[in-house]
A and B are shown apart, each in its own frame.
Chain A
Amino acid sequence: MKQYDLIIIGGGSAGIASAIGAYNEHIESILIIEKDKYLGGILNQCIHNGFGLHTFKEELTGPEYANRYIEKLNTCDKNVIECKMETFVVSITRDKLCTYTNALEGYVTVKAKAIIMATGCSEKTRGNIETQGYRPKGIYTAGLAQKYLNIDGFLVGKKVFILGSGDIGLIMARRMTLEGAKVLGVAEIMPYSNGLNRNIVQCLNDYNIPLYLHHTVREIIGKDSLKQIIISEVDDNFNFIEGTDKTFDVDTLLLSVGLIPSNPLLKQLQVKFNPKTKGPEVDANYQTSIEGIFACGNSLHVHDLVDYVSLEGETAGKKAALYIKNQIKNQNNKVQLVPLNGISYLLPQICYPLNGKLDIKFRVKEPYGQCKIIIKNNDNIIKTINKMYLLPAEMENIIIDSDILTEGKLSVEVETK
């Protein structure tokens, strides 16, 4: 059986960055397994610009951003990093056996000292949100419509409505408009948008596409092909408000109603999952509840910006390499991270004192104006940060020094005046 130091499952932004991170720690062999023909993952279909502002201080398209990392990967020693394309991993085990299949080799099992999961996320579907009515052709997740348009070169419809104001939905509103489709509106069930503010401005406002906040699709009409949708305003309990129906004649409904980390392989292993992130729980080394199995990128938690995915991937790769080199000490004095008032989730879920800089990532449950973020270690305030605003659409992070931590709890909360 062939052995590798590290196997990385997924060759998207997280996977590539983690390979580079691990390579820089001088381990002997790395295998990246990617199901698609190309590295870069979902970036390849994101042909709009706006990627890389943080890392490269310039606006790149998705493929350009991916290429920056692929070029870096190509400068690495080919004897160390191997990529298997159009290869699909069917199972992994706690012993780090990894079984994959492709047309060339068939089913093959290989062994690794560590595995990094970089399998990305999937889009929520109509079934998940239980949109009622008929089930005709013409309803797509925004990412699928984007793939048809940007990879395959086909437009799926010309009269479009978009449910959900997630970033892909907003990007697709502009993209389909530019290809000659008429986008009649975007409905968002929450009273605020779930997309980045710059996307609301550049993708909706600039094209006069109305955003219906606190609205959702009530009914889908059309047996074989989509004919109409009815949207309604909802109250604070998300019940439809009678008399607020609006009907739109459409041939396409795009869903941009959320992303869920995709981890079927980890689910087989019964790794501990976080109910909020829907991804695996990890410690400050990005290690899951199974020793030697790491996770990063959107399969860990859904990110807003790819720059943060790459950074996280690089760190996870580095930590996995340290683990392979036996340079990660198993620490018993754990600190459990606890999200309190206003915080939806914290990541990592576990950290350790005396473990260098700790990067805490989090999202808030709802929008906040001027407020304070208070971080406590066992009820002692260790840091307070003033914020002008906080939005659920934006991932926040705070870096603290783990040297000051003591075993027990580390909590984060939002305080308003």
Chain B
Amino acid sequence: MNTYDIIIIGAGVIGSQIARALSKYQEKVLVIEKNSDVGDETSKANSAIIHSGYDPKPGTLKAKYNVLGNKMFPKLCEELDVDFDKIGSLTIALDDEEMLKLYKLQELGKKNGVETEILTQEELFKIEPFVTKKAVGALLAKSAGIVNPFELCVALMENAIDNGVKLNLNEEVVEISYDDKYIVKTTKDTYKANIVVNAAGLYSDKINNLIIEKKEMVLPRKGEYYVLDHFLEPYVTHTLFSLPSEKGKGILVSPTTHGNYLIGPSSEFSNNKEDVSTDKETLNNVLKEAYRLVDDVHKEYIIRQFSGVRCYHESNDFVINMPKKGFINLIGIQSPGLVSSPAIAIDCVEMIKEVLPLHLNTTYNPCRRKVIRMNNLTIDEKNEIIKKDNRFGTIICRCENISLGEIVDSIHRNCGATTVNGVKKRCRPGFGKCQGGFCESLIVNILSKELGKNPLDICYKNQGTNILLKETKEDK
């Protein structure tokens, strides 16, 4: 039987953060993820905002970790070479009544320890000319930012693996028992560990309920978005928020770290955790709400719609506890979970230390190998790289100008891409205007060559999503 010191169930942003935080220590860590890639559920389909933390209710775990996490992000992203941009957020008021609410929000922020500024209409239009002309003022939170959420999860896990963590993908936990140690049975194998960390996101209730008497329930809450292509005309440069309501933070319009724009999310409870479908009525409402923030939503640049599912817990707060010695729950980590994740990981490690002494890993390196992003380089820098490896001179993705070299690197790193979607998440082919129409077949070929697999075995995402059904010519 495979024995580990710590098993983390789930490789979303929470599991990945904890894996990296634990890789500072010598203890043997295994991460078990049922999907074919890290960060493939809630962690990939969200607004990608590093919230400042002015709006969670003071005293809640959300407030605590949001504020702590926000401060950790700049260094974290520098170490991991992840795109992060502190662009600031603006919460927009459309009338005097809403202005009053902004003052209340500002008070709330102060209680959480977050500094914000109230902007007059004139000040607002000066720093954000593309906000709706209906706006009368705004709350500016300078510490808010945007991150590349796909890259974040990948980089965290890559760094964790660099430092000795083991990751098993395509493996689902089906049974947990306790007999001196935790015995974790999966669809593939059985493992023993002193500590189990339940970071299973939408299914963290199910994992808890496998072994813990006090049952938990995660309610899926769906959010639907529009994605705009990047375009040349100037547009919003801050994250624009509507005023928060019962249902959450409301619709936002925000640039992404790659110059696209997100419009969304809706917020509806769903009875199905797997329901990542979109529907016209909800998206129409998203657009309608977006007009409260901008006068032009640039519908002509819409390239995609998507939907993500948040993990809501009835307490409307994060549930972080140890219901049984050595079993740690991270349940209900919905927004602001992304920003909170590095702070949650630190506390999780502290909780583990109460049960299991951890020994420093002296070879721990917090930085991952820098990613070559050709688009960010000068022509001379590009040519230096191409001289060493000419694959960086060949463009594969013509919408986003991504080279063969960048794609091959994304496959061969630790926690590398194994699927078409994995390549897309790591270096963007498929995120552009053609949505993969031109490059998908090239990506299949590259994956097949680099992984030494038959093209028939290359999947789009999870196992069973093989793109090609059969070869048409036997003699090829």
Contacts and interface: CB of A to CB of B under 8 A. Distances in A.
A78 B398 CA distance: 29
Contact of A154 (B399, B464, B471): B471
Nearest to B274: A223
**Residue among B306, B398, B445 having the largest count of chain A Cβ atoms under 10 Å:** B398
A225 B459 CA distance: 10
B360 to A, nearest CB: 41
B232 interface: yes
A15 interface: no
A128 B302 contact: yes
Contacts of A123: 434, 437
Interface in A94-108: 99, 101-107
A135 B305 CA distance: 9
Interface in B291-319: 302-306
A375 B471 CA distance: 53
Interface residues of A, number: 53
A372 interface: no
Nearest to A119: B398
Contacts of A153: 471-473, 476
**Residue among A35, A107, A135, A147 having the largest count of chain B Cβ atoms under 10 Å:** A107
Contacts of A134: 276-277
Interface string A126-162: 1110101111110011011001110111111110000
A319 to B, nearest CB: 27
**Chain A, interface SS category:** mixed
**Residue among B283, B438, B440 having the largest count of chain A Cβ atoms under 10 Å:** B438
Contacts of B303: 125, 127-128
A399 to B, nearest CB: 34
Interface stretch (B157-165, B206-214, B338-346, B389-397): B389-397
A101 B393 contact: yes
B278 interface: yes
A105 B276 CA distance: 45
22 contacts: A88-B394, A88-B395, A101-B393, A103-B391, A107-B382, A107-B386, A125-B303, A127-B303, A127-B304, A128-B302, A132-B278, A132-B279, A132-B305, A134-B277, A153-B471, A155-B468, A155-B469, A155-B470, A158-B469, A224-B464, A251-B469, A270-B232
Interface of B: 227, 232, 274, 276-280, 283, 302-306, 379, 382-383, 386-387, 390-391, 393-395, 398-399, 401, 403-404, 433-438, 440-441, 444-445, 455-456, 459-462, 464-473, 476
Interface of A: 35, 86, 88, 90, 99, 101-107, 109, 122-123, 125-128, 130, 132-137, 140-141, 143-144, 147-149, 151-158, 179, 219-221, 223-225, 251, 264, 267-268, 270
Nearest 7 pairs between A and B by C-beta? Answer: A137-B460, A88-B395, A106-B386, A127-B304, A154-B468, A137-B465, A103-B390
Given A122-B434, A144-B437, 11 more contacts: A88-B401, A101-B403, A106-B383, A106-B393, A137-B467, A153-B472, A155-B468, A156-B467, A156-B468, A157-B469, A268-B232
